[in-house]
Structure 1
Amino acid sequence: MKKAYSFFRINDTDESHIFEGHSKGSNYKISVDCMCKKITPSQGYWITDAVRLNEQETREKAAEFGKLVCRNCISMLYTTYE
């Protein structure tokens, strides 16, 4: 399974958060918490053109959204643990 990422926007603030998931063919399973663990999907909506992205696409989309992306989610995206 490959990692895939999706952006989620909060209704009240327009701040976007990143959710990590796993993709295999047409199947996609997403985490119930965003990368920073501060919100859940009941608090906003999925950004339809920013779903199921690979890591590079996610970084590019985050740069496009700019300051509206949660800085904690961004830092988790760039953190590597091995």
Structure 2
Amino acid sequence: MKKFNQKGNLTSTLALIISIIALIISIIAYNRTGGMNTFEKKLVEIQKKSQSIAKETSKKLEEIGKKLKKISKSTK
């Protein structure tokens, strides 16, 4: 059987504990800043705005098309 080095064992255990504490702190900080909820809300908001802009663009293009037809008819 191998004998474990007590100093190495303590160091690795301490490193594990510190990393777990750091992970917990990072999770808490992530949740405080909003986490995925804020991201998803912003994504939905941007999607709604882009749909609205697409509808407005479509309407404007139709208006421009109608005006161009009028102009082309009047010039003939």
Task: Calculate the TM-score normalised by the size of structure 1.
Answer: 0.18
Structure 1 or 2: more helix by fraction: 2
Task: Calculate the TM-score normalised by the size of structure 2.
Answer: 0.19
Kindly name which structure, 1 or 2, has the bigger radius of gyration based on alpha carbons.
2
Q: Which of structures 1 and 2 has the larger relative contact order (alpha carbons within 8 angstroms, sep 6+)?
A: 1
